[in-house]
Amino acid sequence: MFTGHEVESSSTLEWPEPCRRLTFPEIQRATQNFDESLVIGHGGFGKVYRGTIISEARLLVVAIKRLDSTSNQGDVEFWAEVEMLSKLRHCHLVSLIGYCTDGSERILVYDYMPHGTLEDHLHKLQTPLPWMLRLNICIGAARGLNYLHTGTGIKHGVIHRDVKSSNILLHKTWAAKISDFGLSKVGPTNQQFTHVSTVVKGTFGYLDPDYFSTGRLTRKSDVYAFGVVMFEVLCGKRAVDESLDEDHWGLARWAQESMKEGRLKQIVDPNIRERISTKGLKEFSRLAERCLNSHPKQRPTMAEVMVGLESILVLQEKTSNTLHPASMTIFGRKMPMFLFQSNGEIHGMILCSFTLCFVLDSCSLTDILLHLFLFL
């Protein structure tokens, strides 16, 4: 049906307008009439389909979210998201490409994120994400939230109100993108602790206890939820996890208690435990703990969280380069480290052979590699 069109991810192209109203027949064609084989996710809103939209003789791969008639979310959340994302543009926020209203149909069309959600990889797929990648994902998400909170490019700041790992999408480059603005609230940015009185909404496990008890929503409520996400990334546990202690199914409290008891190293995800520097681990966990402070005013801003994470990344990079350098210098020549990562007698024989070759200055790198393969 689309023969002759070039298929591209929507994020690689400039959409002709910030947010376009699409017809229901266009949505039907894009999803092959909502074919179940194209479903890529489910949420409180409804099903999400992988679809294709034609634009200027090209096919854009997109994610299409269709409101379920039985969903608890409705027109208010739908229009809140359209209004919010029509005004906001940032590399760490998911882009809204279009929307559709037709009778009772409420449909949103976003950039397609081929790597799914952070939740998918941490819990459903149990992908062994490297520590450095986890750090970069946290930094990207923090940058997106900071953009929302500071009101950059708009008159008012935005409180997301539903920060969680399932709302952090991952681009094909693994860049983090904040998504799902149906519960977001707009508030003034000129006062640091201005709150919005509202009916409490959010996701259990990420919900700020102060907001839950008082109904006062502030940007620090997002900071609390982000602290939970940080521990989720560090420990590989869900925000509410039945595998934790019977009295501590909530990850936030469990992680805080574990830190007090000196068991920080033990609660780290085994997939990354040996790759985190001791200092980096302490700094990361302390920052996450500050986000969870029971007093909102004592929590850092997202700008402070972002800067803290970036400094931890620099620290980790320095440690990694020291422990795992890309090359070793012998007699003035740089050799790839993989040549020296064998063990036992073979390691010694190879190293001796290399040293002799360098001393005699009689071998090229090709000759040395040949020596290696002869030994192996």
In which element (H, E) is residue 285 found? helix 278-291
Structure tokens at 269: 């995800």
How far is Cα of residue 230 from the mean position of the Cα atoms in its chain? 10
Going along 113-195, which residue ranges are E strands? Answer: 157-159, 168-170, 176-178, 185-187
Residue 237 marked ligand-binding = no
Q: Give the residue numbers marked as catalytic.
A: 162
Q: Please choose, from the candidates 196, 191, 89, the residue with its C-alpha nearest in 3D space to the C-alpha of residue 144.
A: 89
Look at residue 300 and give its three-state secondary structure: coil
Task: Determine the Cα–Cα distance for residues 96 and 98; give it in Å rounded to an integer.
Answer: 6
Task: Compute how many other C-beta atoms are within 10 angstroms of the C-beta atom of residue 207.
Answer: 22
Task: Determine the Cα–Cα distance for residues 64 and 51; give it in Å rounded to an integer.
Answer: 7
Task: Determine the Cα–Cα distance for residues 9 and 52; give it in Å rounded to an integer.
Answer: 9
Q: Which residue positions form the known binding site for ATP?
A: 65
Q: Which residue positions form the known binding site?
A: 65
